[in-house]
Structure 1
Amino acid sequence: MEKRQRFSAEFKREAIRMMQTSGKPAAAIARELGVPRNRLYKWAQDAEKKGDQAFRGSGRPKASQDELAALKRELARVKEENEILKKAAAYFARELP
């Protein structure tokens, strides 16, 4: 199964601008850009309805680099603690009769 293509907001706006100003048919522009013609129409419709709010993204903000680094450090610490506990459990299990 093919992975779904994602296009940036800038790409979408440029495609709409080309469709409105170039005088070429939408099918020709779609072929040039490698997108389905109906998607160009959908982007134009979204831009007309929502204006500046169109193509804002999925709404999920990306984690900051600091937060990501802190979470990685915490994960490493927890993994190390887990390994120590496994070794301790194995050691005490050997001592039991």
Structure 2
Amino acid sequence: MSSQRYTPEFKDEAVRQVVDRGYSVAEVSERLGVSPHSLYKWVKAVKPDKPEQQASELTAAKSEVLKLRAQLRRKKRSATS
């Protein structure tokens, strides 16, 4: 059996169905005829590590808080003028 059974495009589409479209690994693996184990490995290969993802989300949240604070300051200034 070849180690390159599935094309990269096939793997990308399978992973996209799980990551972007929200289907479960079980649904996609059954529909596409792929073992859930293989699909989990493909998904894990493209998803960032948990600490990386948490750091990214924290940075995004901090950025949004700063923007909202700036908006609030502008609103308060315009309300007192």
State the TM-score, normalizing by the size of structure 2. Answer: 0.49
* Larger helix proportion of the pair: 2
Indicate the structure (1 or 2) with the bigger Cα radius of gyration.
1
